């Protein structure tokens, strides 16, 4: 797809989309993580939602339960706090220190926010579930955000499923209503406080901040009658269809935030546009997510374990 020889294509994309074998140098604790109940539950949750949104548009009809509405209200509160905490004047262009003020408010209110979402008889779970919410918005010391924080929000939703707040018939609403609103709030945080990417791989990374919307977004596009992977690099196609597909919303945000040729600032995505079908894109992205996020120690070293997502080995 790119001019020149195949050697110009980034190794990670070849390994994920063409050669499903990869050697990863990790510490022994990573093996424990991959055998854990937490890893099994987390990946099971991601893959279940991946199937749940397959071939569906963001704008399609789906059930919206009371817990879903409460989660959206929680995210609306976080959004409002951004408006109430404007950036401060500082010499550094990136990492505005007002984020720490915003985060301190979440740190203080997180358990109360979670308690408003879950039923009273499950109130004892609020402190543990709130930890994942606090981890999901970025790091207040470094003022950065990355796929590890995104994973914490997915873990937050997974915990709500495990305690029975969210149910099987909430699948589409979890992705389209809650996670999509979460993305909007995170993008606002990133723009408002000029947050640094956490552990960015630069041009060889898929995206500076997110990964899951590319997985679920590619699943939405499987078997689409006209849109193919090669079309997402077309600005006109993105502008006309981004409200229906999470993947295209991500592309739109990237083009708004970055300048220059798409092939240069987002080389991995440019390479993906050469993959022949959305099902292959989806499968490749799942492999890539495991290899580049869940099996990378700098990302997973911050993952929290507890009674809901235990580090103990999987039992079944």
pLDDT in tens, 89-129: 988 888 999 999 999 999 999 999 999 999 999 999 999 99
State residue 168 phi and psi, 5-degree precision.
Answer: -55, -40
How distant, in Å, are the alpha carbons of 77, 155, 156, 208 from that of 140?
18, 19, 19, 18
Whether the predicted pLDDT of 204 surpasses 90: no
Instruction: Tell me: pLDDT of 6 over 70.
Output: no
pTM: 0.89
Burial class (CB in 10 A: 0-12, 13-18, 19+), 223: exposed
Q: Between these two residues, 202 and 198, which has the higher pLDDT value?
A: 198
Tell me, which fold does domain 21-305 have in CATH?
1.20.120
Q: Which of 58, 121, 68 is nearest to 249 (CA)?
A: 58
Buried b (16+ CB within 10 A) or exposed e, 273-293: bebeebebbbbbbbbbbbbbb
- Contact assessment for residue 302 and residue 132, using Cβ atoms and an 8 Å cutoff: no
- What is the arithmetic mean of pLDDT over 125-138? 96
pLDDT tens sequence across 280-315: 999 999 999 999 889 888 888 889 999 999 999 987
pLDDT in tens, 26-71: 334 788 899 999 999 999 999 999 999 999 999 999 999 999 999 9
Specify the pLDDT at position 40: 96
Angle, CA of 94, 100 and 105, to the nearest 5°: 145
Greatest CA span in the chain, whole angstroms?
A: 62
Domains in the chain: boundaries: 21-305
φ/ψ (deg, to 5) at 289: -65, -45
What pLDDT is attached to residue 301?
83
Q: Is the pLDDT of residue 75 over 80?
A: yes
pLDDT at position 154: 97
Q: What is the pLDDT of residues 147-200, one digit of tens each?
A: 999 999 999 999 999 999 999 999 999 999 999 999 999 999 999 999 998 866
Contact between 119 and 267 (Cβ < 8 Å): no
Q: Say what percent of the chain tops pLDDT 90.
A: 75
3 — pLDDT class (breaks 50, 70, 90):
very low
pLDDT reported for residue 15: 42
How high is the pLDDT of residue 125? Answer: 95
Residue given tokens 């606002």 in the structure block? 188
Structure tokens at 33: 């993580």
Residue 21 scores a pLDDT above 60: no
Which ranges in 53-97 belong to alpha helices (H)?
A: 66-84
Q: What is the mean pLDDT of the chain?
A: 88
Closest C-alpha to 218, from 208, 209, 203, 206 = 206
217-273 pLDDT tens trace: 999 999 999 999 999 999 999 999 999 999 999 999 999 888 888 888 888 899 999
């Amino acid at each position: 797809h790119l001019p020149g020889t195949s050697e110009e294509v980034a190794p990670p994309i070849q390994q994920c989309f063409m050669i499903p074998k990869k050697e990863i140098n990790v510490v022994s604790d990573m093996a424990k993580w991959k055998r854990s109940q937490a890893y099994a539950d987390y990946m099971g949750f991601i893959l279940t939602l991946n199937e749940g949104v397959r071939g569906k548009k963001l704008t399609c009809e789906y059930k919206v339960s009371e817990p879903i509405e409460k989660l959206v209200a929680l995210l609306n509160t976080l959004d409002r706090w951004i408006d109430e905490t404007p950036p401060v004047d500082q010499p550094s262009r990136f990492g505005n220190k007002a984020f720490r003020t915003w985060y301190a408010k979440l740190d203080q209110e997180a358990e109360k926010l979670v308690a408003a979402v879950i039923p009273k008889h499950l109130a004892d779970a609020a402190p543990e579930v709130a930890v994942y919410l606090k981890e999901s918005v970025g790091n207040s010391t470094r003022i950065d955000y990355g796929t590890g924080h995104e994973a914490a929000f997915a873990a937050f939703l997974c915990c709500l499923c495990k305690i029975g707040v969210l149910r099987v018939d909430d699948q589409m609403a979890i992705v389209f209503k809650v996670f999509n609103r979460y993305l909007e709030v995170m993008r606002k945080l990133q723009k408002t406080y000029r947050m640094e990417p956490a552990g960015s791989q630069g041009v060889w990374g898929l995206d500076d901040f997110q990964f899951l919307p590319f997985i679920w977004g590619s699943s939405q596009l499987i078997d689409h009658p006209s849109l193919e992977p090669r079309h997402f690099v077309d600005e006109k196609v993105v502008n006309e269809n981004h409200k229906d597909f999470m993947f295209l919303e991500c592309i739109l945000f990237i083009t708004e935030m970055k300048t220059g040729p798409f092939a240069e600032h987002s080389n991995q995505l440019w390479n993906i546009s050469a993959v022949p079908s959305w099902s292959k894109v989806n499968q490749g992205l799942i492999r890539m997510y495991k290899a580049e996020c869940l099996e990378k120690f700098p990302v997973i070293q911050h993952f929290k374990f507890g009674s809901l997502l235990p580090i103990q080995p999987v039992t079944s």
